[in-house]
């Protein structure tokens, strides 16, 4: 079903994509397409992208990840990027890159919790 190698699982009402191998330009773009199709297919209202496994994120890949979040948002789905390593965060900030349009959290659990909060504050208090 998926063109890329990154597993995208449905957990509860949420999609969980765990990136375990370094992304190059091609695999990052394939991932973006897969994730959007998965949202359409599963009608999930939340997406967690786990990048704990990434030791390096260049600006191209960072842009693809944030763009994916913005695209998901246009489709009606909130995205949380989790597990960014300190070195990755430091590099991105030094390069003047901000992850505008996506939420961030420490790990998958926190990301799931954040999505639940966003959802309940949207659905009624």
Cα 88 from chain centre: 15
Give, as ranges, the residues between 66 and 105 that touch a second copy (CB under 8 A): 67, 70-77, 82, 84-86, 88-90, 92-94, 98-99, 101, 104-105
Q: Which among 19, 26, 78, 23 is positioned nearest to 47, based on CA atoms?
A: 78
* Cβ distance to a second copy smaller for residue 1 or 125: 125
The least distance separating a second copy from the CB of residue 5, rounded to whole angstroms, comes to 19
Residue 67: C-alpha distances to residues 83, 113, 123 (Å): 18, 22, 25
What's the order of all strands across the beta sheet hosting 46-50?
8-11, 14-18, 46-50, 78-82, 103-105
* Cβ distance to a second copy smaller for residue 21 or 70: 70
Residues that bind a second copy (CB under 8 A): 32-33, 36-37, 39-40, 43, 45, 67, 70-77, 82, 84-86, 88-90, 92-94, 98-99, 101, 104-107, 110-111, 113-114, 116-117, 120-125
């Amino acid at each position: 079903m998926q063109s890329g190698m990154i597993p995208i699982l449905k957990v509860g009402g949420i999609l969980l994509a765990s990136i375990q191998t370094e992304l190059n330009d091609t695999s990052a773009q394939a991932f973006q397409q897969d994730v959007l199709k998965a949202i359409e297919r599963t009608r999930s209202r939340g997406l967690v992208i786990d990048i704990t496994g990434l030791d390096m994120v260049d600006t191209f890949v960072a842009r693809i990840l944030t763009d994916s979040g913005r695209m998901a948002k246009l489709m009606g789905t909130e995205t949380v990027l989790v597990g960014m390593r300190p070195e990755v965060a430091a590099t991105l900030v030094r390069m003047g890159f901000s992850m505008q349009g996506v939420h961030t959290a420490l790990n998958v659990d926190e990301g799931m919790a954040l999505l639940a909060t966003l959802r309940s504050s949207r659905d009624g208090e």
